[in-house]
Structure 1
Amino acid sequence: MSTQHIKMGGAPEGYDAQLVLRELHSHGEPVVHIARDDKRMSAMAEALAFFAPDVPVIKFPAWDCLPYDRLSPNADVAAARMATLAALVHDMPKGFVLLTTMNAATQRIPARHVLKEAAFRAEVGRRVDEAALRNFLVRMGFTQAPTVMEPGDYAIRGGIIDIFPPGHASPVRLDLFGDVLDEARRFDVATQRTTEKLELIELAPVSEVILDDAAIRRFRQNYRIEFGAARTDDPLYESVSAGRKHQGVEHWLPFFHDGLETLFDYLAKATITIDDQVTAARLSRWDTIVDQYETRKIAMDQKSRIDTVYKPISPELLYMEDAAFTTALDGHRVIEFHPLAQASGPGVVDAGGRIGRNFSPERQLENVSLFGALADHVKKKSETAAVVIASYSEGARERLKGLIEDEGIGEVIPIQNGTRIGKRGIHLAVWGLEAGFETPELTVISEQDVLGDRLIRQPKKRRKAENFLTEVQSLAPGDLVVHVDHGVGRFHRLEVVTAAGAGHECLLLEYAEKSRLYLPVENIELLTRYGHEEGL
């Protein structure tokens, strides 16, 4: 099957969500949208929710660690990826939009048959092999914890088994009577109260590395072929051989599988839409991956003994270079968005959208009324099309409503989503759009177009005090962390430090020249994992 590649100009950000939905409805098959990065993926998700709140939208995020890193992807990210892949091979509706990023789309993933076979089902009233369930949880990458707190955790207390499946908002509790599942329910982590009774439990892997006997044998064989016989002081080889997950083991993913596939193999009939500038970013990322591989390779080759240094696999095994990516798209309808109109030619179409007006000149002039200029623009556009003014919050929308009405525009209509937009009229919506756009039927003006860049950062979510020690347990001795003031250090252990006659639980962090920092656990928000943007 040949690839239909379309270069679509006149598709500014915001309007591209309408074009994705138009493609979904016209062809009746799923649409995969490849965003430049996580920020653009979130913006597309918000735009889709605004224009079509009932359309199913799922996300497939990229690993939040660098290629050839010593760290594993964050557990939440790994769980979200596996939940999406499991949904794609089991029970997704025909019409949906899958959002992913350039980094995620260019990385190889476990084959579909692995997700189909790696599942566990338990029904209320039927027998459950508890030993088989425990073995499944270990092999599929779940982490045993005293209390389940995040996706991928499980806890066992007698005949009660708590599991936080990937892709779910809350954990489930299995109450066994002997070897029979007597009751299954979903519960709230904070209150432990039941939120839903269940009749069937289905579990998917939480990690792309599945440590069953066959996978371990494949890893050992591939590792020896690539790097020679491993010595006893090779921690990666020894951990996997013992059936234990080693930090960063995902970077050797191809060694665990007979063969990897791509995201596009899961969605053979899907249309692929691509953000502007993705191609340039993809080629640049491949160059970065190769550079990092070469750096690791040089470091390994310079050692007289290579058993304790990083042994990188060839980049083509895990990542797709340009030719492989083009091959992966073969047979798909591919639409590449561009915000500006493109020169005419084969495969080039114009979607009819244009970047909206920015009121920056008016903001710079003291003798010009900014909102008077906005009112004039809105009046003119509303004569031929609907107008939507998008604000970042309910409060901002109310303030803009008052300012606009003061200019004598008339009635403005607050709306919850794009389904309420009429053919004419002025509408106010809560939508975090950065820049507006115009089409023959619709003019969208963002708050940022009018007032300029936002200077207020979103506040970071603070954790409750009772969660501090639970979050500390996610750290292992030797993990690299970044302190907001002191930079990169290595976590050693928890220690009780006595000050002013009282004991305080502190994290012991070690820096260069053996200098130490004792950080109280209640200040854990000052730390991030090395290579992660969010706090612990």
Structure 2
Amino acid sequence: MTFKKGISSLKNALEKGKGSISVISEAASGSSIMISEAVRDISRPLIWICPDKKQFLERTRELQNILPGRVYPFPSYEHLVFLPLIPSPENSASRITALYNLNERRDPILVIQASSLLERVIPAAELSANAELIMAEEEIERDQVARWLVEAGYEYLNRVERVGEFSVRGEILDIFPPGHELPLRILFFDDLVEEIRSFDPVTQRTVSFLKEAILLPAREIVYSDKRVAAAVRHVIEQAKTLDLSASDVNSIIQNLEARRDTENSLSIMPFIYGELDDLLSYAPGDTILVIEDALQCQRNMEAFSERALEAHFQQLENQRLLAEPEAYYASPSSISGRLESLSRVFLAPGRILASRQQSGFSPAAFDVEIETGITRNESLPVAQATFRKGTEFFSSFASRLSRWTDQGKRVFILYQEKDARKRLEGLLEHYEIVFQSLDLQEEAGALPGFDRLADLQAPGVYLLSGFLAEGFTDLESQVVFVPDHELFTFKHFDTRRRKSRKRKVSPVSISDIREGDLVVHRDHGVARYMGLTTMSANDIPGEFINLEYRGGDRLYLPVDRLGLLQRYVGVEGREPRLDKLGAGTWSARKQKVKRAIREIAHELVDLYAARKVRKGIALSEPDDMYRQFEAAFPYRETDDQL
């Protein structure tokens, strides 16, 4: 079967509602193109299930390149949800965006890891109820919007830069909601929305004007008054069964009533909503499932479930307030059984044998079997080359290009950046290989449809902007895809020299520091972290970071000001002297460093000025060997290196 016929067969099978379809392809990237082409005009949701994180990242980028605007990654949490850790705002935003589009759109494509099928998520009804539509020239109570933002997990800051942040300055509301590539600026006149703009968070300049915008919660927990009251009751009931101390329970309740996002927030989700949904609860009955390496997906899902159960038991041993394990994760067997009611496309490099033990990951029989005729490219010589002086490591690939074109093949070399295209053009010209740079994209960076590429009748080499995780050949259509990252991944000849490791100062995370560790406060200097303390400020209970300074002085820093702290990085084996609060030694030390930096800057300016006026030595133009080395350089240059 030809590749184009395979696309047609798959599309017909999906339109007829076939339950289980097998697609045989040596290269998963070929399957990505085939399935994308088959569903391009089908208005049905699709969930692409990957066995692990590596495939999840590759397939996400690949599908977003083929079908831009329809593909939403649904990343797993970086940790088990009941562990005392706070997920990144970007992770939470991606999950919320994917869930909302699966719930509201007719044709979204979600990419997930198999383990994500087990995760409990915000109920679909709650997410729909908390999606706020704001329209220009509409009246809306500003204070009510600000209250909702706090309940929906947004962080109030003076300047909005990351997703999940908002700020209020007079008549201007800045907000960076999930589902938007840029933050929004909403201009009010009293309670009338005058304008909605997207803006660049770096320059703060307007990028575009919008007529309306949907504001989604920044996380999966929305602290409405009703939900907080219910959560408090459930926490008290569960605490009685676990025999927890009153102080621990009071701390949890205070955080709930203060709508404070803490490392325990995700573990409280079952108490807030009562009963959670899972990803399949969002999926309508006509959803298409694409299962990549079904056996490995099932194994990884079962292994994840076992780890979660063991970790849950350990957390209960540590006196953590938790719901039952099934409140956080569904069982693999229950998920597998529910998959059987949906259309499933199974991807594998070879023929999949039907299973006697029928399940969502192993059907008893296939309704349709499609062999794509796709083969992986032979390992490219450039990719395995080691660079030695005098070696023309691109010449072997140039020879293969000539052989492919002599055989009547159309070779598409995919590049990801304009600089990569220029380097490729220079190398192809050097080897006198005739090529053509294509500009067939309907959207910037999007890979054009396979039909448009296959219709190019003339054999030859074509440069095309796009990304595929791996190259492949369609023997019937005589089409070869070669992504540039397979061309220019090579090993350096001399690996004996040890690379110096730069010491990096990273922001503090409560989960990563222990009592007694040294930290640096931006305004007060070196201190010792002494743990978290619950205190009341203006009769409002809150959690504070306890910092000890020289002489026993204490500074209690609210946890929402954690960004003022950094790890202490100094000479190993030498204990630094703590700063003293109010003594001015830290300010003096900072001023001394600033003066030293200014002196170095002046010296550098003088040095470059002297270089400018001195007569230099003119070097010859870079030769072909240099051009090949430059094209194969596996790292992205910074602006100051170019």
TM range (shorter): 0.7 to 0.9
- Amino acid aligned to 1:191: T
Which residue of the partner structure matches residue 549 of structure 2? none
SS in 2 for 1:324: helix
Query: Would the alpha carbon gap of residues 516 and 37 (structure 1) be closer, same or farther in structure 2, given more than 3 Å must change?
Result: farther
1: CA distance, partners of 2:317 / 2:574: 28
TM-score (norm 1): 0.76
The one-letter amino acid of 2:462's match is H
Q: 1:48 to 1:198 in 2, by over 3 A?
A: closer
For 1:233, what is the secondary structure of its paired residue?
helix
Question: In structure 2, do the counterparts of structure 1 residues 517 and 414 end up closer, same or farther at CA, with 3 Å as the change threshold?
Answer: farther
Equivalence for 1:358 = 379
Alpha-carbon contact 1:56-1:96 (below 8 Å) kept: yes
CA distance in 1, matches of 2:75, 2:202: 27
Residue in structure 2 matching 1:445, options 482, 495, 498: 482
Q: Is the 8 A contact 2:81 2:328 kept in 1?
A: no
Contact 2:48/2:111 (<8 A) preserved: yes
Q: After superposition, what is the alpha-carbon deviation per residue over 1:80-114, rounded to whole angstroms, capped at 9, x for unaligned?
A: 22233233334x3x334222333433312122211
User: Is the Cα contact below 8 Å between 1:72 and 1:247 reproduced in 2?
Assistant: yes
- Partners of 2:376 and 2:116 in 1: how far apart? 28
SS of structure 2 residue aligned to 1:232:
helix
Are the structure 2 counterparts of residues 262 and 237 from structure 1 closer, same or farther at C-alpha, using a change threshold of 3 Å?
Answer: same
Deviation at 1:355, TM superposition (A): 2.0
Classify 1:394/1:179 alpha carbon distance in 2 versus 1 (closer, same or farther; 3 Å): closer
CA contact 1:3–1:332 (8 Å) conserved in 2: no
Per-residue deviation, 1:491:
5.5
Look up the equivalent residue of 1:161 and give its one-letter code: L
Contact 2:22/2:352, CA 8 A, preserved across alignment: no
Q: Offset at 1:444?
A: 2.0
- Determine whether 1:77 maps to 2:99: no
- SS at structure 1 position matched to 2:334: helix
Q: Judging changes above 3 Å, is the alpha-carbon distance between structure 1 residues 426 and 509 closer, same or farther for their aligned structure 2 residues?
A: closer
Contact 2:48-2:291 within 8 A present in 1 as well: yes
What residue is the counterpart of 2:593 in the other structure? none
Conservation of the 8 A alpha-carbon contact between 2:238 and 2:321: no
What is the alpha-carbon distance in structure 1 between the residues aligned to residue 134 and residue 27 of structure 2? 48
What residue in structure 2 maps to residue 193 of structure 1? Answer: 205
In the TM superposition, residue 16 of structure 1 has moved relative to its aligned partner by: 2.3
Question: How far, CA to CA, are the matches of 1:153 and 1:371 in structure 2?
Answer: 48
Change (3 A) 1:193 1:433: closer
- 2:512 partner letter: L
User: Against the structure 1 CA distance between its residues 241 and 448, is the aligned structure 2 distance closer, same or farther, given a 3 Å change threshold?
Assistant: closer
- 2:182 and 2:305 map into 1 onto residues whose CA distance is 37
Q: Distance in 1 between matches of 2:231 and 2:111?
A: 31
The alpha-carbon distance between structure 1 residues 127 and 222, as it changes in their structure 2 partners (threshold 3 A), is same
Given the alignment of the two structures, is residue 278 of structure 1 paired with residue 292 of structure 2, yes or no?
no
Matches within 5 A, 1:98-247: 98-228=110-240, 231-234=246-249, 235-247=251-263
SS in 2 for 1:219: helix
Q: How does 1:41-60 map to 2 (within 5 A)?
A: 41-52=56-67, 56-60=70-74
Do structure 1's residue 390 and structure 2's residue 417 form an aligned pair? no
Residues 510, 249 of structure 1: alpha-carbon distance in 2 compared, 3 angstrom cutoff: farther
* Partner residue, 1:293: 312
Q: Which residue in 2 is equivalent to 1:532?
A: none
Flag the 1:406–1:237 CA change in 2: closer, same or farther, 3 A.
same
2: CA distance, partners of 1:316 / 1:388: 49
Deviates more, 1:109-118 or 1:182-191: 182-191
Return the alpha-carbon distance in structure 2 between the equivalents of residues 3 and 489 of structure 1.
Answer: 60
Secondary structure of 1:387 counterpart: strand
The residue that corresponds to 1:429 in the other structure is 464
| Equivalences, count | 479
Q: 1:357 is aligned with what amino acid?
A: E
Aligned ranges 1:319-398 → 2 under 5 Å: 319-338=329-348, 340-342=349-351, 346-347=365-366, 349-359=370-380, 363=385, 371=394, 373-382=396-405, 383-391=407-415, 393-398=417-422
SS in 2 for 1:15: helix
Identity percentage of aligned residues: 18
Tell me the secondary structure at the aligned position of residue 247 of structure 2: coil
- How far apart in 1 are the matches of 2:392 and 2:31? 32
Question: After superposition, what is the alpha-carbon deviation per residue over 1:121-150, rounded to whole angstroms, capped at 9, x for unaligned?
Answer: 444444322332222112111111122222
Amino acid at match of 2:482: I
* Residue of structure 1 in register with 2:435 after alignment: 412
Which one-letter code corresponds to 1:243 in the other structure?
A: R
**Aligned with residue 507 of structure 1, among 565, 574, 580:** 565
In structure 2, the CA distance between the partners of 1:208 and 1:398, relative to structure 1 (3 Å rule), is: same
Match of 1:249 in 2: 265
Q: 1:516 to 1:218 in 2, by over 3 A?
A: farther
- Rounded to whole Å, the distance in 1 between the matches of 2:484 and 2:194 is 55
The match for 2:610 is: none
Answer whether contact 1:82 1:208 (CA < 8 A) is retained: yes
Counterparts of 1:470-481 in structure 2, within 5 Å, are 478=510, 480=512
Q: Structure 1 residues 447, 481: closer, same or farther in 2, change over 3 A?
A: farther
**Structure 2 portions without partners, runs of 5+:** 1-16, 355-364, 440-446, 493-504, 527-562, 579-585, 591-642
Q: How far apart, in 1, do the equivalents of 2:46 and 2:118 lie?
A: 17
Larger radius of gyration: 2
**2:153 aligned counterpart, secondary structure:** coil
| TM-score of the two chains, using structure 2 as the length reference | 0.65
Task: State the 1:271 CA deviation.
Answer: 0.8
Distance in 1 between residues matched to 2:136 and 2:386, nearest whole Å: 67
Q: Work out the CA distance in 1 between the residues paired with 2:574 and 2:265.
A: 28
Structure 1 unmatched runs, 5+: 301-309, 456-467, 483-487, 499-504, 522-536
What is the Cα deviation at residue 285 of structure 1?
Answer: 1.8
Deviation of residue 375 (structure 1)? 4.4
Deviation (angstroms), 1:50: 4.5
Q: Give the residue type in structure 1 aligned to 2:98.
A: T
* 2:548 aligned partner: none
Q: Distance in 1 between matches of 2:187 and 2:512?
A: 38
User: Does structure 1 retain, via aligned residues, the 8 Å contact 2:120–2:276?
Assistant: yes
| Residue of structure 2 in register with 1:458 after alignment | none
**In 2, Cα distance between equivalents of 1:110 and 1:412:** 52
The secondary structure found in structure 2 opposite 1:256 is helix
- 8 Å Cα contact 1:496-1:506 kept in structure 2: no
Shift of 1:18: 0.9
Distance 1:318 1:349, change over 3 A: farther
Maintained 8 Å contact 2:45/2:102: no
* Aligned mates of 1:175, 1:364 — CA distance in 2: 58
Tell me how far 1:358 sits from its aligned partner: 0.4
| C-alpha distance in 2 between matches for 1:59 and 1:32 | 10
**How far does residue 77 in structure 1 lie from its aligned partner after superposition?**
1.6
Indicate which of 29, 33, 38 corresponds to 2:44: 29
Distance of 1:51 and 1:182 partners within structure 2:
37
Q: Does 1:496 align with 2:531?
A: no
Q: Give the structure 1 partner of residue 536 of structure 2.
A: none
